[in-house]
């Protein structure tokens, strides 16, 4: 399933992963600032198999299913706009990943990230299928994302917060 072909379509990939799997992924927020422009970011990774019923294959399958349910595109192409998938409420953030009953909670983001997203800014979602240790520092994370991109293991898209009326 590697290579730069993007997401491989298969019937089982059309079913979002369950909340048990989504609870095992790691998410980190950040803001990319360049040339007076700010872009909210959400990085989604998995630390690899940790539970008795998990293997490298089941984790990769779960991450690919998550990417498919979010409608993410290959990391080496222009990121698609995947619609309003973020909900911001009382300082908490959640990502609608396509499950009919559950959303993915995002660890407490900074006030700056929340304000940016709440005011309508795009948020770049970057999902990496290759496992990343929970203890990875910024340099290790950057190197991991770059290596994963080179191996076709990065999917991404742009989302925004739902408007509340």
Q: Is residue 143 part of a domain?
A: yes
Instruction: Name the domain count of the chain.
Output: 1
Q: Is residue 5 part of a domain?
A: no
Residue predicted with more confidence, 1 or 11: 11
Q: What is the domain extent for residue 136?
A: 11-161
Residue predicted with more confidence, 97 or 90: 97
Q: Is residue 101 part of a domain?
A: yes
Give the chain's count of helices (H) and strands (E).
Answer: 4, 8
Query: Is the predicted pLDDT of residue 13 greater than 70, yes or no?
Result: no
Q: Is residue 2 part of a domain?
A: no
Q: Is residue 44 part of a domain?
A: yes
Between strands 37-45 and 123-128, the pairing is parallel
Q: pLDDT digit string (tens) for 64-86?
A: 999 999 999 999 999 999 999 99
Q: pLDDT digit string (tens) for 17-55?
A: 999 999 999 999 999 998 888 999 999 999 988 888 889
Q: Is residue 6 part of a domain?
A: no
Tokens of 129: 């299928």
Q: Is residue 106 part of a domain?
A: yes
pTM for this structure? 0.88
Most distant CA pair in the chain, distance: 47
Q: Is residue 4 part of a domain?
A: no
Tokens of 10: 């298969």
């Amino acid at each position: 399933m590697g290579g730069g072909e993007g997401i491989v379509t298969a019937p089982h990939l059309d079913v979002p992963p369950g909340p048990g799997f989504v609870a095992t992924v790691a998410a980190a927020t950040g803001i990319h600032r360049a040339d007076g422009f700010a872009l909210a970011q959400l990085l989604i990774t998995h630390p690899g198999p940790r539970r008795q019923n998990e293997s490298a294959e089941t984790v990769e399958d779960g991450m690919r299913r998550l990417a498919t349910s979010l409608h993410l595109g290959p990391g080496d192409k222009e990121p698609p706009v995947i619609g309003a998938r973020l909900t911001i409420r009382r300082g908490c953030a959640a990502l609608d990943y396509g499950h009919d009953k559950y959303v993915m909670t995002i660890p407490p983001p900074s006030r700056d990230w929340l304000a940016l997203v709440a005011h309508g800014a795009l948020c770049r979602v970057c999902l990496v299928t290759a496992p990343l240790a929970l203890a990875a520092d910024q340099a290790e994370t950057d190197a991991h994302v770059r290596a994963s991109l080179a191996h076709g293991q990065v999917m991404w898209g742009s989302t925004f917060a739902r408007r509340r009326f």
